[in-house]
Amino acid sequence: MTALGDYKRERIDELAARAGQLPEGDAGLSLTRSAVRRLRRDPVAITGAVIVLVFLVVAAFAPLLAPRDPVTQYLLSEIRPGLIPGSQEGFPLGADNLGRDLLSRLIYGSRQSLLIGVVSTVLGLVVGMTLGVLAGAFGGWVDTLVMRFVDIILSIPGLLMAITVSVLLGQNQYALMIAIAVVQVPIFARLLRGSMLVQRGSDYAVAARALGVRKSRIVFGHVLPNSLSPVIVQATLSLATAIIEAAALSYLGLGDPDIARPEWGAMLANAQDFLSIRPALAVWPALCIIVVALGFTLLGERLREALDPKFRR
Amino acid sequence: SSDRDSGEGDGEGDAAQSGGTLVFGAAGDPAMFDPAFASDGETFRIARQIHEGLLTNEPGTTELVPALAEDWEVSEDGLEYTFNLREDVQFHDGTDFNAEAVCFNFDRWHNFTGLAQSPSATYYYQAVFGGFADSENPGIYEGCEATDENTAVVSFNQVTSKIPAALSLPAFSIQSPTALQEYDADNLSGSEDAITYTEYALEHPTGTGPFKFESWDRGNGEVTIVRNEDYWGEPAKLDEIIFRTIPEGNTRRQELQAGTIDGYDFVSPADYQTLEDDGFQVLVRDPFNILYLGFNGGNVEGTQANPALQDPRVRQAIAHAIDRETIVNSLLPEGSEVATNFMPPSVDGWADDVPTYEYDPERARQLLEEAGAAGTTLRFYYPTDVSRPYLPDPAAMFQVIAEDLREVGLNIEPVALQWNPDYLQAVQAGQADIHLLGWTGDYNDAYNFIGTFFAEDQNNQASAEFGAFSAPEIFAALAQADAAPDPSDRTDLYQEANRLIKEFLPAVPISHSPPALVVAENVQGLEPSPLTAEDFSTVTLQD
Amino acid sequence: MLRFIVRRLFQLVPILLGLSVLLFAWLRALPGGPAQAALGERATPEAIAQYNELFGLDEPLIVQYFRFLGRAITLDFGTSTQYGRPVTEVFLERFPGTIELTLLAMVFAIGVGIPLGYLAARRHGSFLDSASVVGSLIGVAIPVFFLAYLLRLLFAVELGWLPGSGRQDVRIDATRITNFYVLDGLLTREWDAAWDALLHLILPAIALGTIPLAIIVRITRASVLDVVNEDYVRTANAKGLAMATVRRRHIVRNALLPVSTTIGLQTGLLLSGAVLTETVFAFGGVGLTLRDAITYRDFAILQGFILMLAIVYVLVNLLVDISYGLLDPRVRVR
Amino acid sequence: MTAVPIAGQDDLLRVEDLKVHFPIRKGIFFDRTVGHVQAVDGVSLTVPRGATYGLVGESGCGKSTLGRAILRLEEPTSGRVLFDGTDVAALKGEPLRQMRQRMQMVFQDPLGSLDPRQNVESLLSEPLRAHGLAGGKAGIAEKIRGLLDAVGLPSAALRRYPHEFSGGQRQRIGIARAVALEPDLLIADEPVSALDVSVQAQVLNLLEELQERLGLTYLIIAHDLAVVRHISDVVGVMYLGSLVEQAPADDLYEQPLHPYTRALMSAVPVPDPEIEEQRERILLAGDLPSPADPPSGCRFHTRCPWRQETRCDDEVPVLRELGPGRLVSCHWAEEIRDGALRPRSPEEVLHAGAASRPGSGAHPRDDDPTPFLGRDEPLPRQEQG
Amino acid sequence: MSSLQAPVLEVEDLAVRFTRRGEQPTRAVDGVSFSVAPGETIGLVGESGCGKSVTSLAIMGLLPRRGVEVTGSVRFDGNDLVDAPDHVLRGLRGADMGMVFQDPLSSLNPTVPIGTQVTEVLLEHREMSKAEAQDEAVRLLDKVGIPDPGRRLKEYPHQLSGGMRQRALIAMALACSPRLLIADEPTTALDVTIQAQILELLRELVVDAGTALVMITHDLGVVAGLCDRVHVMYAGKIIETADRRDLFARPRQPYTGGLLASVPRLDSARGAPLTPIRGSARDAIPWSEGCAFAPRCDNAQDDCLTEVSGSTVPLVPDGPGRELRCRHPLEHPAAPSGATAHGAAR
Ligand SMILES: Nc1ncnc2c1ncn2[C@@H]1O[C@H](COP(=O)(O)OP(=O)(O)OP(=O)(O)O)[C@@H](O)[C@H]1O
Ligand SMILES: Nc1ncnc2c1ncn2[C@@H]1O[C@H](COP(=O)(O)OP(=O)(O)OP(=O)(O)O)[C@@H](O)[C@H]1O
Ligand SMILES: [Mg+2]
Ligand SMILES: [Mg+2]
Ligand code: NI
């Protein structure tokens, strides 16, 4: 029987490749990159990313974007108790209770708010992950000890713990970040441990053991990277929670002591005293918080789907 | 008033007098109702309606007037007070008020033991009388004698300017000896590690006031007092008053607007206008307080004071740098004044010829330059989570002053702390370089202001509010004034003290501001008191 | 089953011990002590020392700790420096309010969340779906104190439909038996008191329930979407069952399993102190009390409350596990 | 295909009375062990160098556990595993890790056993690096290319990730990785059962080819008797943790001695209608009993069509030699072989079983011990209040 | 054996397209036609992913509505089901057509007792009281060989062994004595000894009740023992149809031949080599480009590609009772009975 000529063979190979289930562009893409690819095609994820990006840009270029200095009390002499100048020439959103430009404060506020979000999340992530890795990698009594500790922390009301942390560390912006981070720690620790336990029993981890790969490399080279995706998702979501949490702490008087430095949470909390006369002072920062939180959450939720092993094919 | 109340109150037949129920929003819970153990405003507010002392203040002023004592005489040496007591006065439990009862109360205070000697229980007694029968320094109280049914003679071993004004404090209310004994009022021991108040203080406070204690629903944070039908004077108009605890200012305002309460205290200055526009009555009290910016500028060896602030020129520079006019106009309610003395003008001993340190940034910069202190970094402490009558919005105050100071070339490092206890502790331990603090007078007496701040015993420690400073002239003037039996000598001495203080400048007085309470349109007859000593017995509710 | 419960309860012991040590060390590390808090603005150091001596606060920490522990075993957590009453008594007075509030908040969150999540999943991709997802996200992102303000503004001030703070109208003098006001009203047949207490719960419950609501919507939605694709749903359809039966017995029932865990966890979290909500609604529950206790450094309250809340938290989780066992036969204890 | 002589060879692997018991824990205060899953219960076998040993048995009978225990991926409860003279069961730490170089494993789930985040290059170089083999970068690259070639994958595969391959290709990667270290022994746990028949044949051929080229010794685990018989020299049949029969592959097919083997063999369908129509079917009653509570005596007696009133219920049969290279653990093996005993129908077996031991025939397997909410998923935590 | 009775089920030109948003549409089933008569068993065989399950789901109307296009016709008793409204399908499913799925654990609702899952179908389709349904369920479980059925009714799926779960599923499918039973790989998840039990059960069923059975499997051995007619599928199309004996004796499609040659057989000599088809099912090319199997086919020639031959490869009759989709089929010496396909394929 005559087999196909070489030319035809190639043609068929080509067709066969095209018929394969993977989109051509995906060839050789790692899971992370193909997840990013999927995200790029997801309108919801894009919406989230655009929101986050816009605010990042605003934060980065605040000095260029803000029409005025955010701390100068331009209109202080016009302020009377019960009267705060509204929007006017040169102050598109009006002034705040000390005669500062609200718009500029909102723009500069993105810096501090995002910073709080990022730093506290990273902090919570690092500590939580360290605990999680300890528990997940060693198992046994280390695991028990770490997890009991985490349980203990979990059973303390979160806000209460944040309050005591701020009180303990004195009030400054770092204490605020730490206070927010502390609440995140048990979440990350449990998440990572759970996911590492699953991955540790997976075939590829056993395979690595069978290959004689060193334990440290199995943990850090295989198990850990594969356990990270829920943690990454949680971290994205935490960015949003951290900003909201900052507002709550500011409201309780535990925020950044340099309150001239604009930050949405503190602005919102501070505006509570003027709700009856200028609700805009509260509405704008609240809106900013909600929109940014929305952005991070949308991104996080979609990331969860994109990283879900169910979608790996 | 609700249907329930009218249903109950009708039987009496005094419907004309029957005035319904007033609900008043308080910012915090009272501690209990035995004012001898109290020191906080919320407890006092209620105690004032239930209890009366020998003396009181003219409604709406700080003027001392008789209450349970019809009048009083002071001996030449100022050591013996003879009180002529009102007749026909009965305690709520039906027992008679008389000289015996007065002396019983004085002796009770003097003979407190154990936990009752804790400063948290008997702050005012200790502040005014100095000590207890069994303590090392037994204080100024000598004894009390009931010379007849209606005459009580109280004697002291030392003259003080605090007496008799302090006797108008609720802490020195005269309570029923029978009830005090029956309910074991002094036995605070309860448990070894916290004060358990007695049944008397919690459930059976028995005074002579226009209202009687009815109930305290702790869970729901409400205290109910009802009219004392057998009051010796003009009986109260209202049937009953309920004090409801609502910690948040916004919540209080909204509850008033929703009509579920009839009034509240600690109105945010920002809300005055809105509330008035909505038809509520904002009752502004005359200012009887002082806000100052304190310096840690002590001048003795070993003080922990800030070196830059030890230079008087730097302190003066700061005083010149602060635009107090704008602060008073923009941040404080209408009726506020720029302060020159560390006490309001209405207090005897206020001096009008003190150095004032007008707003002059140029001068400030120059002084700093001279002192070589330009660019100095100061840790500026301010409290969070609090609103005081003299400091309605600490954060705003802090920001404005900080800007002013930055303007003249000082560096400000903000430190924010929770008011109680962190802030108070830190500030009084002299941890702050500069800080905001103030005081509301308890009674009309200069020593209650400047003595509290600048007397020697407050300032001779290494870590004191203003740093350990030695100003023998000031200390002497204050001590002399306090001990002077003659009121006019006293006034001169206090004025002198005020001048000396302003020259030395351990702090900058900033403002006196009028706190306010607000009531609904139909609430009449509530006279705002500079001492926050409002009397609710004159209040009526209009339909 | 009983063995399981007993076992879980015993697991509580190390947690509580650890927690108590941690709490003790932590709280004592806070700057400022109860003395300063109690003595106020102008306390002298001598006065503070005297106070500490009186209350035994000057003893070595270890002694204080064991003294505390010894009594805690008999549920005696000492006396609150702030209220001058036994901590347990304060707890029994405040906790019922929090329970009522939490229950209603969860009723709200469940009652709205599950149907909404279910509908969103049924109409996957529709406007309702997107709206409920975005709405639930906003619910999480809005700070509670601000939400409380808005709710009160609308329902209490403008419309006047609902009371805006407190647990009971002051003009109603109801009899207190259990401190569960609604229950008390029913027990004493003071119907108006019960009804009024219920009305007072509504706004704080909505404010408190928003976050669990958002979470429940999300989980229900995701879970229904998962279950719909399960093989057994296909089997049920292959059996030709009516759509209603398939939904009720095969979809909803299984979809609710993960939701039930969430509900339990949320309930536990809410019970352990709705600090902000209770503050802004002047609602006399544990959250409000805890907040004050921090301010006043009322260690007795803090220690006692947090320990008791930890017990409650664990018990709620136990309950969740048990109910999960009832719902899901696979994890039923054999 | 080469026929490998069996006798007179040195044994690469010797398993002696190996037991692996998993504790079942319960308790109030502390976890008390209330019983054991006797996953592997006293298995002895030898695999000569260069030979292929095939292990079959029903799901849950302990095949995988045995395979893992040999590689010390599972801690043996007792017994010895002699690999080329060293007792693997006693090794620890670094020596054990080094020993792994000589014994490798191929897994059932080709996707699951490959780290999804590694590309093929990294997958294949990892074992080389771990054991410091093949020298530097160039050496490793060279070696990997050789491996890909050996398993029939194009070199373009290097940059790709496991999820981009078909099942058969993934299994090839798994095999390439296992042989990268040039091991002496290769244990393959169900290497083909996840694959389509056409691909299955490719992989089987590959395994045979590699054995020939590299002189490998195989222990192949499978539940498909036909597969096992196809590539094995010796076949062991496991039932409930023990070996019930072992024989040279051809002999086993010619004449299965153990009743279980017989039943197993009769159950395998043959893709030939004529044979299917005539095939004698021995249907077994019920399912595999729980290894946590195995039947007394002969473990197979609850389902055995040849069960006798005597001995079977209470006397544990030993694995005895019944002819050259033929081991069987049945009291009545000779009688059954000679046709002296007649099998009963499943209904009769069930009935008899129920009479002697209520319910034991229908013990559900206890193989999904779902923990009572081992809640390790994170607790969603956010601020309330 | 071919039946003279009118077919219960006729599938004609059935095609299923998945059009998921954001993904390329895939044609999972592409013009499949076959029919089954009462008492007849047909086999649908092919490798993983060739469209067997989708075909069966399309017949039952169980594919999701969103993102799926079903064309062609599925006639049950002469009534077309493809466009039938939901309530009509629900009336037929469970009552007249039953289905058994591959994975017995995931196909049973874990939170509902077995008994309820059996009785619910009875209550739905037959007018029975709860008690009657209960009794009937006991009878059904007993019939499929579950010991102690009364007790099992109250148990949950996880308490049953794999074999029992599959029996329970079969009991549900049989509850209303359907005239058509579709079994989608009912034994793949089971051990051979259990598989043998289940197959025996199905066999009895067809014989006793005259049910039409569509057996979907990838195991040629199962087909050989059970089916009357066999349809071999590849990449969504039927590529060969024949009576069982014919097919195994003389496979014509190189794919069928390749499959047979790939399977190690217990009865062949141990040394007999396996000759697998090269590549895997993923290497199929779209039918529109030519014969999907061409890339893996040894017989493939230029005209297997559409661009050379000008048309797709059609399914054409190939002798009595046979159909074939191939331009270069395997040739066999005149049907020597008993010769193994294995040899012929070489
Ligand atoms: N880690 C473990 N803990 C407890 N029991 C286990 C564990 N691993 C396996 N088992 C039990 O040991 C028995 C044997 O399991 P094993 O995986 O060795 O069987 P197998 O023959 O490989 O089955 P399969 O064909 O399903 O892979 C089973 O009953 C199983 O439930
Ligand atoms: N819901 C779906 N969406 C998209 N594609 C699908 C869907 N379901 C099945 N497919 C695709 O349809 C094709 C046929 O799948 P089907 O499940 O019918 O294969 P099968 O022959 O049953 O295989 P197996 O033997 O693995 O069960 C596969 O390529 C599959 O990827
Ligand atoms: Mg296995
Ligand atoms: Mg299928
Ligand atoms: Ni071979």
Sign of the C-alpha dihedral computed for residues D344, D349, D351 and D356 taken in this order: positive
E51 close to ligand 2 (CB < 6 Angstrom)? yes
Inform me whether the pLDDT recorded for D275 exceeds 70: yes
Is it true that the peptide bond before D294 is cis, omega within 30 degrees of 0? no
E249-258 mean pLDDT = 91
D238 — pLDDT class (breaks 50, 70, 90): very high
What is d(CA C100, CA C104) in angstroms, rounded to the nearest whole number? 6
D116-133 mean pLDDT = 87
B315 — pLDDT class (breaks 50, 70, 90): very high
B422-450 mean pLDDT = 86
- Structural domain that includes position E129: 9-218
What is d(CA E99, CA C198) in angstroms, rounded to the nearest whole number? 53
C228-248 mean pLDDT = 89
What is d(CA A19, CA B414) in angstroms, rounded to the nearest whole number? 67
What is the atom index within ligand 1 of the atom nearest the CA of D68? Answer: 18
What is d(CA B374, CA B362) in angstroms, rounded to the nearest whole number? 13
- Structural domain that includes position D307: 262-376
Task: Mention every residue, 6+ apart, whose C-beta is less than 8 A from residue B488.
Answer: none
Please report the beta strands in B86-166, taking only residues with DSSP state E, as ranges in sequence order: 141-148, 151-156
Q: What is the ipTM of this complex?
A: 0.81
Q: From ligand 1's centre to the CA of D69, what distance in Å? A: 12
In a domain, D350, yes or no: yes
Q: What is the pLDDT of residue C203?
A: 93
Q: CB contact, 8 Å: E191 with chain D?
A: yes
Residue type, B511: S
In a domain, E119, yes or no: yes
Beta carbons of B320 and B380 less than 8 angstroms apart = no
Tokens of C190: 């003071």
Please state whether D326 falls in left (phi above 0), alpha (psi between -120 and 50) or beta: beta
10 Å Cβ neighbour count for D121?
Answer: 17
E49 close to ligand 2 (CB < 6 Angstrom)? yes
Q: Where is average pLDDT lowest: B279-293, C22-36, C162-176, D28-42?
A: C22-36
The domain C94-280 having CATH identifier 3.90.550.10: the answer here is no
Q: What angle do CA A125, A131, A137 make, to 5 degrees?
A: 115
Question: What residue in A sits closest to B392 (Cα-Cα)?
Answer: A273
Beta carbons of E124 and E94 less than 8 angstroms apart = yes
CB spacing of B251 vs C280 below 8 angstroms: yes
| Per-residue CA distances from B274 to A151, B254, B267, B278, D307 (Å) | 49, 12, 11, 6, 97
Q: What is the pLDDT of residues A100-118, one digit of tens each?
A: 999 999 999 999 999 999 9
Q: What is the pLDDT of residues B200-251, one digit of tens each?
A: 888 899 999 999 999 988 888 889 999 999 999 889 999 999 999 988 888 8
Which residue in E331, E285, E282 sits closest to E312, CA to CA? Answer: E285
Q: Where is average pLDDT lowest: A195-204, B104-113, C97-106?
A: A195-204
Q: What is the pLDDT of residue C14?
A: 80
B462-468 mean pLDDT = 76
CATH number where E100 lies:
3.40.50.300
What is d(CA C241, CA E119) in angstroms, rounded to the nearest whole number? 11
Tokens of D98: 């080094």
Residues in chain E within 8 Å Cβ distance of D370:
158
Of D97, D101, D112, the CB nearest to A203: D112
CB spacing of E224 vs D269 below 8 angstroms: yes
Inform me whether the pLDDT recorded for B406 exceeds 60: yes
| Per-residue CA distances from B32 to B190, C288, C300, D114, D309 (Å) | 15, 19, 19, 71, 88
A225-233 mean pLDDT = 84
CB spacing of D385 vs C269 below 8 angstroms: no
In a domain, E266, yes or no: no
D166-182 mean pLDDT = 88
Q: What angle do CA B491, B494, B496 make, to 5 degrees?
A: 110
Q: What is the pLDDT of residue D368?
A: 36
Residue type, B437: L
Tokens of B207: 């005074």
CB spacing of D376 vs A209 below 8 angstroms: no
Inform me whether the pLDDT recorded for A27 exceeds 50: yes
A311 — pLDDT class (breaks 50, 70, 90): low
- Interchain contact C/B (3 or more Cβ pairs less than 8 Å): yes
Q: What is the pLDDT of residue A11?
A: 60
Q: From ligand 2's centre to the CA of E236, what distance in Å? A: 9
- Looking at the 3D structure of chain D, how many domains does it have? 1
Give the mean pLDDT of chain A.
82
Task: Please tell me which chains touch E, using 3 or more CB pairs under 8 Å as the contact test.
Answer: A, C, D
pTM of the model as a whole: 0.82
A183 — pLDDT class (breaks 50, 70, 90): confident
Q: Please state the length of chain B.
A: 543
Give the mean pLDDT of chain B.
87
Q: What is the pLDDT of residue A147?
A: 83
What is d(CA D229, CA E298) in angstroms, rounded to the nearest whole number? 28
* DSSP output for E203-221: HHHHHHH--EEEEEES-HH
What is the atom index within ligand 2 of the atom nearest the CA of E16? Answer: 12
CA distance to partner chain A, nearest, from residue B165 (Å) = 34
Question: What residue in A sits closest to B396 (Cα-Cα)?
Answer: A98
Inform me whether the pLDDT recorded for C284 exceeds 60: yes
Q: CB contact, 8 Å: C265 with chain D?
A: yes
| Per-residue CA distances from E58 to C77, E14, E204 (Å) | 68, 8, 27
Q: Which long-range contacts (CB under 8 A, 24 or more apart) does B229-233 make?
A: B230/B90, B231/B537, B232/B86, B232/B88, B232/B89, B232/B90, B232/B208
* DSSP output for B53-87: -SEEE-TTS--EEESSEEEEEE-TTS-EEEEEEPS
Of residues E2 and D273, which shows the higher confidence score?
D273
Q: CB contact, 8 Å: C287 with chain D?
A: yes
Tokens of A63: 């000095």
E58 close to ligand 2 (CB < 6 Angstrom)? no
Tokens of C303: 């220690």
D68 close to ligand 1 (CB < 6 Angstrom)? no
Residues in chain B within 8 Å Cβ distance of C173:
4, 215, 224
C180-194 mean pLDDT = 82
Q: CB contact, 8 Å: A254 with chain D?
A: no
Of residues C83 and C249, which shows the higher confidence score?
C249
10 Å Cβ neighbour count for D143?
Answer: 18
Q: What is the pLDDT of residue D355?
A: 46
Inform me whether the pLDDT recorded for D353 exceeds 70: no
Q: From ligand 5's centre to the CA of D269, what distance in Å? A: 20
Q: What is the pLDDT of residue C33?
A: 59
E219 close to ligand 2 (CB < 6 Angstrom)? no
Q: What is the pLDDT of residue B13?
A: 41
Q: CB contact, 8 Å: C252 with chain D?
A: no
Strand partners, B540: B524
Residues in chain E within 8 Å Cβ distance of C129:
none
Note the helical H segments in B242-299.
Answer: 249-258, 272-277
E14-29 mean pLDDT = 83
Tokens of A255: 């925020």
Inform me whether the pLDDT recorded for B280 exceeds 90: yes
Q: What is the pLDDT of residue E2?
A: 46
DSSP state of A144: H
What is the atom index within ligand 1 of the atom nearest the CA of D67? Answer: 18
Q: From ligand 5's centre to the CA of E275, what distance in Å? A: 9
Of A149, A158, A251, the CB nearest to C145: A251
D291 close to ligand 1 (CB < 6 Angstrom)? yes
D274 — pLDDT class (breaks 50, 70, 90): confident
Burial class (CB in 10 A: 0-12, 13-18, 19+), A5: exposed
Inform me whether the pLDDT recorded for D314 exceeds 60: yes
Residues in chain D within 8 Å Cβ distance of E341:
272
Residue type, E241: T
Residue type, C300: A
Sign of the C-alpha dihedral computed for residues C19, C22, C28 and C32 taken in this order: negative
CB spacing of A248 vs D164 below 8 angstroms: no
Residues in chain C within 8 Å Cβ distance of D24:
none
Indicate the domain borders of chain C.
94-280
What is the atom index within ligand 1 of the atom nearest the CA of D59? Answer: 25
CA distance to partner chain C, nearest, from residue B229 (Å) = 21
CA distance to partner chain C, nearest, from residue A294 (Å) = 6
Of residues C17 and B105, which shows the higher confidence score?
B105
Is it true that the peptide bond before D154 is cis, omega within 30 degrees of 0? no
- Looking at the 3D structure of chain E, how many domains does it have? 1
Give the mean pLDDT of chain D.
81
Strand partners, E182: E99, E214
E47-64 mean pLDDT = 90
CATH architecture of A42-68+91-312: Orthogonal Bundle (1.10)
| Per-residue CA distances from D198 to E180, E186, E218, E248, E263 (Å) | 31, 21, 11, 16, 7
b or e along E211-246 (b: 16 or more beta carbons within 10 Å of the residue's beta carbon)? Answer: bbbbbbbbbbbbbbbbbbbbbbbbbbbbbbbbbbbb
Q: What is the pLDDT of residues D189-207, one digit of tens each?
A: 988 888 888 888 888 989 9
Q: What is the pLDDT of residue C188?
A: 84
What is d(CA D96, CA D101) in angstroms, rounded to the nearest whole number? 9
Beta carbons of A275 and C150 less than 8 angstroms apart = no
Count of alpha carbons within 13 angstroms of residue D242, beta-carbon side:
21
Inform me whether the pLDDT recorded for B184 exceeds 90: no
Nearest CA, atom 4, ligand 1: D22
Question: What residue in B sits closest to A278 (Cα-Cα)?
Answer: B270
Which residue in B163, B487, B510 sits closest to B348, CA to CA? Answer: B487
D238 close to ligand 1 (CB < 6 Angstrom)? no
D289 close to ligand 1 (CB < 6 Angstrom)? no
Residues in chain B within 8 Å Cβ distance of A252:
385
Q: What is the pLDDT of residue B380?
A: 93
* pLDDT > 90 in chain C, percent: 10
Q: Which of D41, D55, D63, D221 to mutate to test the pocket of ligand 1 (most atoms within 8 A of CB)?
A: D63
Inform me whether the pLDDT recorded for C142 exceeds 70: yes
Task: Mention every residue, 6+ apart, whose C-beta is less than 8 A from residue B11.
Answer: none
Task: Mention every residue, 6+ apart, whose C-beta is less than 8 A from residue C80.
Answer: B194, C86, C87, C90, C293, C298, C300, C301
CB spacing of A253 vs B385 below 8 angstroms: yes
Q: Euclidean distance between the first and final Cα of chain C, in Å?
A: 8
Residue pointed to by tokens 């916290």: B194
* pLDDT > 90 in chain D, percent: 22
- Strand D242-248 to B55-57 pairing: unpaired
Residues in chain D within 8 Å Cβ distance of C324:
373
E149 — pLDDT class (breaks 50, 70, 90): confident
Q: Which residues of E touch C (CB under 8 A)?
A: 57, 60, 62, 66, 86, 89-95, 98-99, 101, 103, 106-113, 116, 120-121, 124-125, 156, 158-159, 169, 172-173
Which element (helix H / strand E) includes D145? helix D137-151
CA distance to partner chain E, nearest, from residue A10 (Å) = 9
CB spacing of D385 vs C211 below 8 angstroms: no
Give the mean pLDDT of chain E.
86
Cα-trace Rg, chain A: 25
Tokens of C290: 């805890």
DSSP state of D290: P
Q: What is the pLDDT of residue B104?
A: 94
Q: What is the pLDDT of residues B36-74, one digit of tens each?
A: 988 888 889 999 999 999 999 998 888 889 999 999 999
Q: What is the pLDDT of residues B358-403, one digit of tens each?
A: 999 999 999 999 999 888 999 999 988 788 889 988 989 999 999 9
CB spacing of D161 vs A29 below 8 angstroms: yes
What is d(CA E176, CA B264) in angstroms, rounded to the nearest whole number? 76
Q: What is the pLDDT of residue B341?
A: 93
Of residues B425 and B529, which shows the higher confidence score?
B529
Residues in chain E within 8 Å Cβ distance of C234:
57, 62, 101, 107
Interface of C with E in 139-178 (CB under 8 A): none
CA distance to partner chain A, nearest, from residue C167 (Å) = 22
Q: What is the pLDDT of residue C113?
A: 92
